Amino acid sequence: MSKQGNALEDPRSKYPKPPFERQFQPFPGLAHKMNPVPDHGEETYVGSNRLKGRKALITGGDSGIGRAAAIAYAREGADVVISYLPEEQSDADQVLEHMRKAGVKAFGIPGDLREESFCKELIEQAVEKLDGLDILVNNAGHQKSNESILDISTEAFDRTMKTNVYAPFWLIKSALPHLKPGSSIIGLSSVQAYDPSEDLYDYAQTKAATTSYVKSLAKQLGPKGIRVNGVAPGPVWTALEISGGQTQENIEVFGQDTAFERPGQPAELASIFVQLAANDASFATGQIYGSAGGSGQP
């Protein structure tokens, strides 16, 4: 929830609108170097103990939507482990500080999710540090804009698939023995699963795959009392976009075609992740929750 409580906020003017300055960072990009700096809820999210005592692992929790979810989870009382690439340590340090200020246990584990061995190790370390695990958020993703399929190398295609499809597979397999009834798995889908852009050929496929695994796994794990859901954002202002996820031309007008004529901010999705993990969402499984500013199909 927001500090403003019940005061009405106009969604059209709540956050910056394009045009944005063109800006590029080498992959994977750092949120604190963006202009404007994204809002992850650092100054606005106020918790109410909805996840007190819960134990969560969030991949890609250093920036973007994962960071917003991590801050919200911590302020809702959950102990949290975030994973991230070693190059993202400076962003990770910031979010870890915010989480620890909330009075919960917060840990960061750097590594590359494209490696099955790291995914297994990540789950083991998370379980050890948190003394268990009951929320797994598969948020980390890789996205590169390419004008043509001819511009995508096998190596680049493999990186997108390994990060977005293989890693959740490995993580879920490793986590399942630790997940008790009432636990939640949350995947990050996208409007790209429903209306793919011509320049995101490989990324869009992975988001369709995410949507599919959420619905399939929900049926498989429902009898075990484990819920599986997904979140499908539209254009959200994150480091993913300015480190190759969009062309510089698209960055300048990013989010312009939404109903509010602006991109979303990570903070605007945080409460969805809280809701999907909370006990009072106990009938929600196999669902894809959209937050796309007027587009998408969920």
Q: Sheet holding 55-59: strands in order across?
A: 106-110, 79-84, 55-59, 135-138, 184-188, 227-233, 288-291
Beta strands at 106-110 and 79-84: parallel, antiparallel or unpaired = parallel
Q: Give the pLDDT confidence of 197-226 residue by residue, as tens digits.
A: 999 999 999 999 999 999 999 999 999 999
User: Would you call 200 helix, strand, or coil by DSSP?
Assistant: coil
Q: Give the pLDDT confidence of 23-45 residue by residue, as tens digits.
A: 999 999 999 999 999 999 999 99
Q: Is the pLDDT of residue 270 over 70?
A: yes
The three-state DSSP-derived secondary structure of 25-87 is: CCCCCCHHHCCCCCCCCCCCECCCCCCCCCEEEEECCCCHHHHHHHHHHHHCCCEEEEEECHH
Q: Give the pLDDT confidence of 57-72 residue by residue, as tens digits.
A: 999 999 999 999 999 9
Structure tokens of 213?
Answer: 């695994």
0.85 cut: is pTM over it?
yes
Query: 261: part of which helix (H) or strand (E)?
Result: none
Structure tokens of 237?
Answer: 């202002």
CA distance 164 to 167: 6
Domains in the chain, start-ordered, CATH in brackets? 31-291 (3.40.50.720)
CB atoms within 10 A of CB 272: 21
Please state, rounded to an integer, the average pLDDT across all residues of the chain: 96
Active centre residues (catalytic) = 203
